[in-house]
Structure 1
Amino acid sequence: MKSQKPAIPTQPDQETDRATLDLSIEKITGLNSRFAHDTVAVEEPLEIQLAHGPSHARSLKSISVTMRTPGHDFDLAAGFLMTEGVVSDPNDIDRIAYAAGSIGEIPRDSALSQSALPYQPGKNIVRVDLAPHVVVSLANLERNFYTTSSCGICGKASLLALQTVCPPRRKNTFRIDSTILYQLPHRLREAQHLFSLTGGIHGAALFHATGNLLAVREDVGRHNAVDKLLGAQFLADLTPLRDTLLLLSGRASFELLQKALMGGVSLVASVGAPSSLAVQVAKDFDITLIGFLRDNHFNIYHGAEHILRAAST
């Protein structure tokens, strides 16, 4: 039986007013020009600070600065910690809040104060307070120390690292009809409010096998969109997500398959292509992997037996 979920404050709405920016632009058509209005997605840094340790000896460490679209920042922080293996239960988190002093002035101990990243006054620093009983491995606090395809660690080492931190796996029993799969990219696009405004933002969604949309999140960073999505489910004590599929609006990288694995997702489908290491993760951990899901076709890279009516020729 799962433990009772913590009383983490519910974050305000997704702050659409901060997620987009209206601009005056010059639009060119052929040899003609005219002034027009355009809406772009906002990209701002978010620093995640972690407070941990026993009650008598707490430590505060900045563990990540990521460029993200404002909104669902608490979900993003929780999802990042869960998918990086820092926390495994929502009760590991006592409190999530915007850090004091994060409006207008950057705290002197903040990583943003030493960063060359652009900074706009606002809620750009999130502090996560872990429960005193949670033991944190300092080696796990460096962003993407084994998860990114550009980190310089070979694929074999990355897969071995995943095996040491991933939650226990059960047999993959998730099944879905191919005719339902074809409908999902359209349903994701319909649910992408920020994409409809800007045309320049990634989406990630969770669906049931019936095609019902469970949740959707958007962000300029594809990994942030997935962290926001999985973080919301983690805080609601709904992980592992064995009875759901994760749909990505772009490509499927190793990092995104790793996050799906940590969230217990059984099937990952992407509108774009998967990477070779993403395919290897799918095979090693028995995650059904679909790529190029568009119109009336898709590729199965692993788990064809989980796709109903998908005949091979």
Structure 2
Amino acid sequence: MTDSLSSTRSIVKYNQQQFSTLEDEIVIEFPLTIYINNEEFATMVCSPRDFAEMVIGFLASEGVIRFKKEIKDLTIDEDRGFAYVELHSTDIKNQQYFSKRFIGSCCGKSRQFYFQNDVRTAKTSMSSTTITAEQCISLMKKMQDSSLVFKNTGGVHNAALCSADELIVNRSDIGRHNALDKLYGHSLLNGIAVRDKILVFSGRISSEILTKAAKIGVGIVLSKSAPTDLAIQLAEDLNITAVGFIRGSSFNIYSHPERIVLDQTNETKEESS
């Protein structure tokens, strides 16, 4: 199959009371079914690139694995749309909770999770990283400028794992959760310490996105869009700084504002890994 994330097709465009025919670039939607130890586990609808990263990040996010070393073998059949995962363990952790909705509390807090495995895998951030307001704006611009697929199609979500100054890795996908899973998988595959990193995201910060960020382990989430009320509650409880509406030269800080500073001489405090 092609490595492209988009295809070209003829469309009819209406503009100023006229119809015209032109070629347009359309994002590709691809189903990938994951098998674990020869048992069907889940089907993901995604953009057709970075499959291994996405599968590993997804399994870690769902609590099936914690480390890359738990995977004995991973084979991607791109032509047929299958990912075959063989674990060293024959017991799939948390499989019984995969599709069961769960709302509960944790450690006396008012955290509300949709799935029981979220309670086990979402981490309270221990990050002491701080970044300047200008760095927030700069990172968002760098992420948006790096995505040619979004510029050409408008049909993908963008996400990037960053230091205070630079993008470390960026990924695009039609699924917002997939984009984050790809970042998580890349971090696990390459041994990247994430506690001092920043997550930059193009979409709305929903409770699910905030939970994904907590599972990855970052302490700062930057978005060009809005957060939900539940996402802000979770960010407060999980010690995550949530920043939204980063557009032009302004943004809003919704939780733990102490990590966003003005002083250029106090740009970033990074913990030893």
The answer for unaligned runs of 5 or more in structure 2 is: 104-109, 264-273
Equivalent of residue 138 in structure 2, options 154, 158, 183: 183
Q: Is the 8 A contact 1:270 1:293 kept in 2?
A: yes
Asked if 1:269 is matched to 2:214, the reply is no
2:168 is paired with a residue whose SS is: strand
Q: Is the 8 A contact 2:158 2:170 kept in 1?
A: yes
Amino acid at match of 1:225: A
Q: Which residue of 1 aligns with 2:154?
A: 199
* TM-score of the superposed pair, with normalisation by structure 2: 0.86
Q: Is the 8 A contact 2:63 2:120 kept in 1?
A: no
The answer for unaligned runs of 5 or more in structure 1 is: 1-13, 52-59, 104-121, 148-153
Q: Which residue of 1 aligns with 2:209?
A: 256
1:276: Cα distance to partner? Answer: 1.5
Equivalent of residue 125 in structure 1, options 82, 87, 91: 82
Amino acid at match of 2:135: I
1:176: Cα distance to partner? Answer: 0.2
Change (3 A) 1:267 1:170: closer
72-81 vs 230-239, greater mean Cα deviation: 230-239
1:213: Cα distance to partner? Answer: 0.6
1:192: Cα distance to partner? Answer: 0.7
1:189: Cα distance to partner? Answer: 1.3
Q: Which residue of 2 aligns with 1:228?
A: 182
Q: Which residue of 2 aligns with 1:92?
A: 70
**Where do 1:1-313 residues align within 5 Å?**
16-17=3-4, 19-51=5-37, 60-99=38-77, 122-132=79-89, 136-142=93-99, 145=101, 156=112, 158=114, 162-167=118-123, 169=124, 171-209=126-164, 211-239=165-193, 241-309=194-262
Amino acid at match of 1:171: M
How many residues are paired up? 257
1:156 is paired with a residue whose SS is: coil
1:45 is paired with a residue whose SS is: strand
2:196 is paired with a residue whose SS is: coil
1:160: Cα distance to partner? Answer: 7.4
1:305: Cα distance to partner? Answer: 0.8
Q: RMSD value over aligned CA atoms? A: 2.4
Q: Is the 8 A contact 1:85 1:166 kept in 2?
A: no
Q: Deviations over 1:182-238 (max 9, x none)?
A: 1122111111121122121110011101x2110110011111111111111112222
Structure 1: which 4+ aligned runs deviate by more than 6 Å?
none
1:95 is paired with a residue whose SS is: strand
Percent identity, please. 29
1:297: Cα distance to partner? Answer: 1.1
Change (3 A) 1:62 1:135: closer
d(CA) in 1 for partners of 2:214, 2:2: 29
Q: Which residue of 1 aligns with 2:266?
A: none
d(CA) in 1 for partners of 2:89, 2:117: 26
Amino acid at match of 1:165: T
